Amino acid sequence: VIGPRLEELYGSMDVAARLHHDPVAFPRRYADPADIEVAAAVAASLAFGRVDLFRPVLARLFVEMDARGGPRRYVEGFDRERDGAALLPIVYRWTRGPDFVALFAVLGEAVRQHGGLEPLFDYRGEPDVREALQRGIDALRAIASAQAGRPFGELSRGVKGFFPAPDGGSACKRWNMFLRWVVRPGKEGVDLGIWRRIPTRALVVPLDTHVARIARFVGLTARTDGSWKTAIEITRSLRDLDADDPIRFDFAIAHLGISGACKGRWDAEVCPACPLVSICVEATAAGG
């Protein structure tokens, strides 16, 4: 019963309107896959907290990138002195100007060394992207550490926060979202479909608070934490609905929460019209 309800949720979503409230709107501005890839990595990296708070910060970063020929040329030619000065005043939560400088320097070195980010996330046919993600993050951490001349664990909270890894138990929401964007085809008008090596069946759900909560409400998981284990449990449940493309409903589920439509509890104003009401434990508990 979950599948048809999720289909209905997806069908009821105004994708164009929701894109204004989603960081994927930034990489979608570009036509060249080389720009799209870097733009996606930057946009996903800042996608924590409230979208109305991180979006103006991303807008500032993209002004800088566009002024130097677009995201790929900007990071490839990134100069800490010349380009870093404009970044130093930028602050987002625990991420400070020097952390943004480090992010662009790392991405620049990665694309110079490997011709792009895809070779770093080396997928070798595993059941899911955990190992490919770990390899990619390990490579980016190694660059960050080499550039700073210190072990990764000694870098600032902001830099470390850019590069969480599954082996620490993190759900790695932002990097799983990045992978969803670059792997899933763009035909629905959301994702970007620029990578070829990772199959959609291996993707893991980008677990944010909205997805975690709504997944629990509709029985995709019984777990209550925001860990990698929970992301995997939800992904496995979604695979039962669509083995080839388990996270195709992620955008719709996430935006049911991001939009504020789902209040996280029974609400007599909104819940009766929610496509998930017949399978939601909150509705059942409220007798809805």
In the complex, the smallest distance separating the C-beta of residue 286 from ligand SF4, rounded to whole angstroms, is: 9
Give the x-and-dash track for 168-197 against ligand SF4 (CB under 6 A). Answer: ------------------------------
Considering only residues 227 through 286, tell me which ones interact with ligand SF4, judged by CB under 6 A.
262, 266, 270-271, 274, 276-277, 280, 282-283
How far CA 266 is from CA of 65, 212, 262, 275, 279, in Å, comes to 44, 16, 9, 14, 13
Contact between residue 205 and residue 179 where contact means Cβ atoms under 8 Å apart: no
The footprint of ligand SF4 on this chain (CB under 6 A) covers a number of residues equal to 12
Map tokens 């002004």 to a residue.
63
Give the x-and-dash track for 20-39 against ligand SF4 (CB under 6 A). Answer: --------------------
Q: Interface with ligand SF4 includes 131 (CB under 6 A)? A: no
In the complex, the smallest distance separating the C-beta of residue 256 from ligand SF4, rounded to whole angstroms, is: 6
Q: Is the CB of 47 or the CB of 283 nearer to ligand SF4?
A: 283
How many CA atoms lie within 13 Å of 88's alpha carbon, on the beta-carbon side?
7
Q: Is the CB of 34 or the CB of 274 nearer to ligand SF4?
A: 274
Q: Is the CB of 110 or the CB of 238 nearer to ligand SF4?
A: 238
In the complex, the smallest distance separating the C-beta of residue 249 from ligand SF4, rounded to whole angstroms, is: 13
In the complex, the smallest distance separating the C-beta of residue 214 from ligand SF4, rounded to whole angstroms, is: 5
Q: Is the CB of 103 or the CB of 253 nearer to ligand SF4?
A: 253
Q: Is the CB of 65 or the CB of 274 nearer to ligand SF4?
A: 274
Q: Which listed residue (193, 214, 219, 222) binds ligand SF4 by CB under 6 A?
A: 214
Q: Is the CB of 249 or the CB of 266 nearer to ligand SF4?
A: 266
Q: Is the CB of 140 or the CB of 276 nearer to ligand SF4?
A: 276
DSSP per residue over the chain, as a string? -HHHHHHHHHHH--HHHHHTTSGGGTGGG--SHHHHHHHHHHHHHT--S-HHHHHHHHHHHHHHHHHTTSHHHHHHT--HHHHHTTTTT--BTTB-HHHHHHHHHHHHHHHHHHSSSGGGS---S-SSTHHHHHHHHHHHHHHHHHHHTS-GGGS-HHHHHH---GGGTB--HHHHHHHHHHHS-STTSS------SS-GGG------HHHHHHHHHTTS----S-BHHHHHHHHHHHHHH-SS-GGGGHHHHHHHHHTS-S-SS--TTTGGG-TTGGG-HHHHHTT-
Q: Interface with ligand SF4 includes 215 (CB under 6 A)? A: no
In the complex, the smallest distance separating the C-beta of residue 266 from ligand SF4, rounded to whole angstroms, is: 6
Residue ranges that bind ligand SF4, judged by CB under 6 A: 214, 217, 262, 266, 270-271, 274, 276-277, 280, 282-283
